[in-house]
């Protein structure tokens, strides 16, 4: 059943060097839109859900075009605040052979980072919502986003809105303003119903060491009683463009695993995790059984790797075809 999901996080411009060129090798950039929560939100809107974005954008051509792009994808932008300031940018250089892709961030001092936590009216924003989705990047952006994330999660709990949390620990962002990442993420995870975290995230947040993913997840279920599901992926990279992706979904009843998907000639790996997260949430919202949920989510993640840009510009039908392993020859 289609639900209403509120996504809270920063919206970014992405500037990509053409083809496999180095950054600034030739004088051109291709432009896409990004931001972890928006990436997931666009997927969910394309899967038929009612998605509302909460963020802050400058009242300039960049903010306007970001809003327009979200609206084009069917995402409701009524709760995106407008103001004076800059939009965060990230630059992407697409790797090849054995040279990894590389991101250079230019996101400091963005309008989102500087927007006061009190600017968001969570009671109103969450009215009618089923889920609140945010990632560990949101509180890492700065003290105000951190406070806003905390307020959002508390308001969600109050309003019986479930929380989905995507770990996404970014050391450099926390370090930039001295935020104590692990303890803040812990406070958010306490309220989460569904979390996209793996053994490293759990170790970091809980301050414990684990000998396996299973052990870490088991501990998470113990330490975070609200948690009903934990999902994560395993990625192997034989080469920059040849990878294998598989997904795992843990609930308190057991674990479900997708088959591994070999991904040859990966086009764009950015947003793969967000596409996966959206796939899990879609399964949960639609009431899929866990196996179908993890299969759908992993196939959604796989499809993302074939599409330029951060957004998973796909459809339920295409994800289901990828799940079913239907033929790869030209569709006419």
Which residues from 21-50 bind its own copies, rule CB under 8 A? 21-32
Examine residue 2 and tell whether it contacts its own copies (CB under 8 A).
Answer: no
Question: Do residues 305 and 267 make contact, with C-beta atoms less than 8 angstroms apart?
Answer: yes
Question: Do residues 99 and 240 make contact, with C-beta atoms less than 8 angstroms apart?
Answer: yes
Examine residue 269 and tell whether it contacts its own copies (CB under 8 A).
Answer: yes
Examine residue 178 and tell whether it contacts its own copies (CB under 8 A).
Answer: no
* 70 phi and psi angles, rounded to 5 deg: -65, -45
Closest CA to 262 of 297, 234, 291: 234
Examine residue 105 and tell whether it contacts its own copies (CB under 8 A).
Answer: yes
Among 59, 78, 108, 116, binds its own copies (CB under 8 A): 108
- Between residues 194 and 243, which has the closer beta carbon with respect to its own copies? 243
- Between residues 219 and 235, which has the closer beta carbon with respect to its own copies? 235
Closest CA to 280 of 224, 227, 233: 233
Per CB under 8 A, which of residues 52..91 are in contact with its own copies? 60-62, 64-65, 68-69, 71-74, 86, 89, 91
* 164 phi and psi angles, rounded to 5 deg: -110, 135
Among 2, 83, 106, 117, binds its own copies (CB under 8 A): 106
Examine residue 228 and tell whether it contacts its own copies (CB under 8 A).
Answer: no
* 68 phi and psi angles, rounded to 5 deg: -60, -40
Count of residues near its own copies by CB under 8 A: 80
Q: How far is the CB of 28 from its own copies (least distance, A)?
A: 6
Q: What is the CA radius of gyration of the chain?
A: 19
Among 192, 249, 263, 280, binds its own copies (CB under 8 A): 263
Among 78, 100, 116, 127, binds its own copies (CB under 8 A): 100
Question: Do residues 161 and 122 make contact, with C-beta atoms less than 8 angstroms apart?
Answer: no
Examine residue 331 and tell whether it contacts its own copies (CB under 8 A).
Answer: yes
Q: How far is the CB of 326 from its own copies (least distance, A)?
A: 8
Among 147, 170, 200, 257, binds its own copies (CB under 8 A): 170
x/- binding map, residues 300-329, to its own copies, per CB under 8 A? Answer: --xx-xxxxx---xx---x--xx----xxx
- Between residues 60 and 228, which has the closer beta carbon with respect to its own copies? 60
CA–chain centroid gap for 79, Å, is 19
**DSSP labels for 57-91?**
EESSHHHHHHHHHHHHTT-B-TTEEEESS--EEEE
Closest CA to 16 of 39, 40, 33, 36: 33
Q: How far is the CB of 196 from its own copies (least distance, A)?
A: 17
Question: Do residues 68 and 84 make contact, with C-beta atoms less than 8 angstroms apart?
Answer: no
């Amino acid at each position: 059943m289609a639900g209403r999901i509120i996504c809270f996080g920063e919206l970014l411009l992405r500037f990509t060097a053409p083809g496999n060129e180095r950054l600034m090798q030739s004088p051109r950039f291709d432009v896409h839109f990004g931001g972890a929560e928006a990436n997931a939100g666009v997927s969910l809107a394309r899967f038929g859900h009612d998605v509302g974005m909460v963020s802050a954008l400058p009242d300039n051509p960049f903010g306007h075009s970001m809003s327009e792009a979200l609206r084009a994808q069917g995402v409701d932008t009524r709760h995106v605040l407008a103001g004076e300031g800059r939009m965060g940018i990230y630059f992407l250089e697409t790797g090849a052979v054995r040279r990894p892709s590389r991101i250079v961030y230019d996101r400091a001092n963005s309008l989102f980072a500087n927007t006061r936590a009190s600017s968001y009216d969570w009671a109103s924003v969450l009215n009618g919502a089923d889920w609140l989705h945010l990632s560990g990047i949101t509180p890492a952006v700065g003290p105000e986003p951190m406070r806003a994330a905390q307020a959002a999660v508390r308001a969600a709990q109050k309003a019986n809105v479930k929380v989905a949390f995507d770990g996404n620990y970014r050391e450099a962002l926390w370090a930039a303003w001295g935020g104590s990442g692990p303890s803040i993420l812990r406070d958010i995870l306490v309220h989460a119903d569904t979390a996209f975290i793996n053994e490293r995230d759990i170790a970091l947040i809980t301050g414990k060491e684990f000998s396996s993913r299973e052990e870490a997840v088991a501990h998470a279920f113990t330490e975070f009683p609200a948690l009903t599901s934990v999902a994560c992926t395993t990625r192997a990279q034989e080469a920059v463009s040849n990878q294998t992706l598989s997904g795992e979904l843990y609930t308190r009843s057991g674990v479900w695993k997708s088959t591994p998907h070999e991904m040859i000639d990966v086009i764009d790996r950015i947003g793969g995790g967000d596409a996966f997260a959206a796939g899990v949430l879609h399964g949960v919202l639609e009431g899929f059984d866990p196996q179908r949920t993890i299969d759908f989510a992993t196939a959604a993640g796989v499809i993302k790797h074939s599409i330029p840009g951060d957004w998973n510009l796909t459809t339920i039908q295409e994800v289901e075809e990828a799940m079913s392993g239907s033929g790869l020859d030209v569709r006419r």
